[in-house]
Structure 1
Amino acid sequence: MSVMPFRGGAAREAELLGAVLEVLRETGYDRLTVDAVVARARASKQTVYRRWPSKAELVVAAFVNAVSGGPAVPDTGSLRGDLLALMDVLLDELDELGDVIAGLLGELRRNAELAAAMEQHYIGARRRSLLAVFERARARGEVSPEADVELLWQAGPAIVFFRALVSGEPVDRALARRIVDRVVLPLL
């Protein structure tokens, strides 16, 4: 995603990205077209393509915008507190965009451009946040030097997404605490 300022300003950009999510929810990724987005947002194709050169970049920009760009690295003073704060962010994102996430999951395997954009702008940001939390905790002595943080950063999101999007089991703050207390912390 480019950092070029949007001509209509931040409010107009948010409006256009909101239109992307509306069309995405109605059509799915495969059938989403820039034509449908610009018609919904009353914008020009040139405006969209100047900022987002591909459909994948446009969709990921809309997705990331809807989840406020990415999680800040929490600093509650404890590893458990930081992990719970990040799980809260994940649960909020799932509440807000679970339908969009479910729709994009299948596309990620089929569309390398979409997968790369999601990795760069969404997944990578979450990975960096969790690894920063783990490294700070390691410096405080809360994480074993042998802990495989490269693997463990995925544990919480994997369980949450599996339950929410595959098994249909409930996902709530109590589950987040169980994941942190019974899975992630013992393995760290």
Structure 2
Amino acid sequence: MITYQQSVRYRIVLCGGRKVSTMSVTPLRGGQARQDELLAATIDVLRETGYDRLTIDAVVARARASKTTVYRRWPSKSALVVAAFTDAVRAIPARPDTGSLREDLVVLLDGLVAEFDRLGDVMTGLIGELRRSPDLAEAMRTGFIKARRQVMMDVFDQARERGEIAGDADLETIWYLGPALVFFRTLMLGEPVDGAFVRRTVDEVVLPVTRAAT
């Protein structure tokens, strides 16, 4: 996570015939605590308004800050929302190691359900903006999805070493079956996901295809 001492902005310059990204630094008055307040306020406003109706005015009013404070660090609404979302999902779940693929998957999906409970309304509000905002799409795919995919793939690698997964199982497709079902039920249908649903998903959807030969 970028600390308050640095505001990262990149520009492309030519260096020996190569394009190189350089970084400029803009301090944020008020320190790390002030940054945290502004990003938390942005998430709160996103919950209430969605991306389209979110305004910098609403954020600074919620955080009791000034527009100058915000624009010193984040030059646009999009930049502020990207920073807030990235900060909100920065805690990557630890890789479980229960000794059982089933139990590891249950732990991971239970954790994903908790994340959707915390941020699902924010994600729903951002989905429509992903096509229009490459920076936001990158934050969603890299800051959230890619990191959690890696944890899932690590769990599969452990299980394969234990002989729990067929050698020809298509893990690149299998890894998102559980998250996709949780996402659709929670964010698209608005229906609750409990422990029983997580376990049915693992037992009836994910595990059978990890063991099936093609």
Query: What one-letter code is carried by the residue in structure 1 that aligns with 2:2?
Result: V
Shift of 1:32: 2.0
Match in the other structure for 1:183: 205
| Matches for 1:117-132 after TM superposition, within 5 Å | 117-132=139-154
Match in the other structure for 1:3: 2
Larger Rg: 2
Q: Residues of 1 paired with 2:178 and 2:118: CA distance?
A: 18
**Higher RCO (CA < 8 A, seq sep 6+):** 1
**Matching of residue 61 in structure 1 with residue 80 in structure 2:** no
Judge which range, 49-58 or 122-131, deviates more.
Answer: 49-58
Distance of aligned partners of 1:66 and 1:114 in 2 relative to their CA distance in 1, 3 Å threshold: closer
Q: Residues of 2 paired with 1:121 and 1:158: CA distance?
A: 17
Match in the other structure for 1:162: 184
Q: How many aligned positions are there? A: 187
Distance of aligned partners of 1:73 and 1:9 in 2 relative to their CA distance in 1, 3 Å threshold: farther
Shift of 1:131: 1.0
Shift of 1:116: 1.3
Shift of 1:40: 2.4
Shift of 1:180: 0.8
Q: SS at 1:91's partner residue?
A: helix
Distance of aligned partners of 1:152 and 1:10 in 2 relative to their CA distance in 1, 3 Å threshold: farther
Q: Residues of 2 paired with 1:64 and 1:71: CA distance?
A: 15
Q: Residues of 1 paired with 2:106 and 2:142: CA distance?
A: 24
Shift of 1:15: 1.8
Cα deviation, 1:76-109, whole Å, max 9, x if unaligned, reads 2221121111111111111112211211122223
Q: Residues of 2 paired with 1:107 and 1:28: CA distance?
A: 10
2:63 counterpart (41, 48, 52):
41
Query: What one-letter code is carried by the residue in structure 2 that aligns with 1:134?
Result: F
Q: Residues of 2 paired with 1:107 and 1:76: CA distance?
A: 38
Distance of aligned partners of 1:18 and 1:139 in 2 relative to their CA distance in 1, 3 Å threshold: same
Query: What one-letter code is carried by the residue in structure 2 that aligns with 1:21?
Result: I
Match in the other structure for 2:114: 92
Shift of 1:3: 2.3
Judge which range, 99-108 or 30-39, deviates more.
Answer: 30-39
Cα deviation, 1:15-56, whole Å, max 9, x if unaligned, reads 221100121122211232334323322335565456556544
Contact 2:39–2:87 at 8 Å: present in 1 too?
A: yes
2:101 counterpart (79, 98, 123):
79
TM-align CA RMSD: 2.4
TM-score, normalised by the number of residues in structure 1: 0.85
Query: What one-letter code is carried by the residue in structure 1 that aligns with 2:102?
Result: R
TM-score, normalised by the number of residues in structure 2: 0.75
Q: Which has the higher strand share?
A: 2
Percent of pairs with identical residues: 61
Query: What one-letter code is carried by the residue in structure 2 that aligns with 1:83?
Result: L
**Matching of residue 32 in structure 1 with residue 31 in structure 2:** no
Contact 1:71–1:129 at 8 Å: present in 2 too?
A: yes
Contact 1:19–1:41 at 8 Å: present in 2 too?
A: yes
Q: SS at 2:168's partner residue?
A: coil
Q: Residues of 1 paired with 2:96 and 2:44: CA distance?
A: 31
